[in-house]
Structure 1
């Protein structure tokens, strides 16, 4: 991968674009789809909606902005100032989009709103979190816990939402709360998909007596590295050369053709990785 593409993820325009587009998509799902049907969106935005439904003191966008202010201190102290500055941009963008978007999506029933709202908000949050910041809210706490304890971002949000919906049962129609829970389940799944879709690769383990030919062909035709492991067959007791390589989904079919053209008796294992860091793949994200 050329150096300029690897550096793109750290450029200011790219990160601002991710935050702006992610906030717009999330706000559309909230304002145009979830809000007209009385749904709670989850996270700090959902807490803001609950307070809006119960108190009617401020608009949802204003509640979102006010609730985020103390959370920014967590990011400033435990993550980085750069992260907080990007997040302030994302938070202000999302608050403004929520306030200014004029559209309402009319759907046949509330279940369609659950699916559409969950997908839009999950996609928007996932795009924002691909940046070096976030759109605010529980994302800040989730990133802190992910960095310190490797807790998945979606799990943090889902746990917070369970507590939020428990409180919502005392103030809202139970049917709306259950619909909202289903919407957040969809949102969490889409969020995790967007966070992992650019980092997933195929890990392929190859066992063959023609190791050198396969290795050379992989390096020449796919331009991928190969790690050689020394193994032994448990049944035969004979030493075996085991090859391990990491490729993308597009290259998988070509790799199969390379392997079985050289050795029709080769044994291969293909697994999907959740993340690959290193030369030729993603770099470790530093906030």
Structure 2
């Protein structure tokens, strides 16, 4: 492998790690303490953890991801599969670290602020991962598959997959929180596409600048 390729690969994993930290922070400091099941495996994990409190959210995400990894390798490809395995393991680790070591808590108990701030942070993290052909695992894998084999963009694919989780969250935590979760999912789907577009534009600009220098 060429030195340039190694540097680019390291950059990819550094940015994926940053995306993972953003997702974990949004969940642990905005969503989880306010019982907002904002879609994805993380939202489903919040619901399951409510019924099985001995299992942490991070542990449930880890178990769920194991089931979906094989699907990612078969239907999406090896590069996506490897990066997704890294990102999902990292997400479980960072979430457990924030929960058990940092003793994560609600930065705000205002549901509207929790939805807006949490979704902004999480959507940015997810977009970073998707832009680098990775995902944080879970239902994001299903969204990537839907995106690949349909005309849906990644944001709409996320929205379709996450609606099921929102319904489960509403039944578990109540209609009010279910509505907030629905708002979070819709905003997340729209934001992910916007952030990915910004990242892709920046990457193209950097590539063009590099060609001009060369």
Higher strand share: 1
Whether the 8 Å contact between 1:33 and 1:117 is mirrored in structure 2 is yes
Of 26, 44, 50, the residue aligned with 2:23 is: 26
1:78 aligns with 2:75: yes
Structure 2 equivalent of residue 273 of structure 1: none
What is the distance in 1 between the residues matched to 2:95 and 2:143?
A: 22
Superposed displacement of residue 114, structure 1: 0.9
1:50 aligns with 2:47: yes
Aligned to 2:173: 172
Q: Structure 1 stretch 91-100 or stretch 134-143: which is displaced more?
A: 134-143
Q: What pairs with 1:152-231 in structure 2 (closer than 5 Å)? A: 152-200=153-201
Higher relative contact order (CA 8 A, sep 6+): 2
* Structure 2, unaligned runs of 5 or more: 210-214
Instruction: Choose 1 or 2 for highest CA Rg.
Output: 1
Superposed CA deviations along residues 85-113 of structure 1, whole A, max 9, x for unmatched, are: 11111001110111111243432621111
Task: Give the aligned partner of residue 239 of structure 1.
Answer: none
> Which residues of structure 1 form unaligned runs of 5+?
1-6, 201-247, 249-275, 282-287
1:125–1:9 CA distance, 2 compared to 1 (3 A): farther
Question: How many angstroms does 1:8 deviate by?
Answer: 6.7
Contact 1:48 1:60 (C-alpha < 8 Å) held by counterparts: yes
What is the TM-score with the length of structure 1 in the denominator?
Answer: 0.64
**Following the alignment from structure 1 to structure 2, what is the Cα–Cα distance between the partners of residues 280 and 157?**
31
Q: What RMSD over aligned residues (CA atoms) do the two structures have, in Å?
A: 2.5
Tell me the secondary structure at the aligned position of residue 149 of structure 2.
Answer: helix
Distance 1:166 1:139 in 2: 17
TM-score, normalising length: structure 2: 0.84
When residues 9 and 172 of structure 1 are mapped into structure 2, their CA distance, relative to the original with a 3 A threshold, is farther
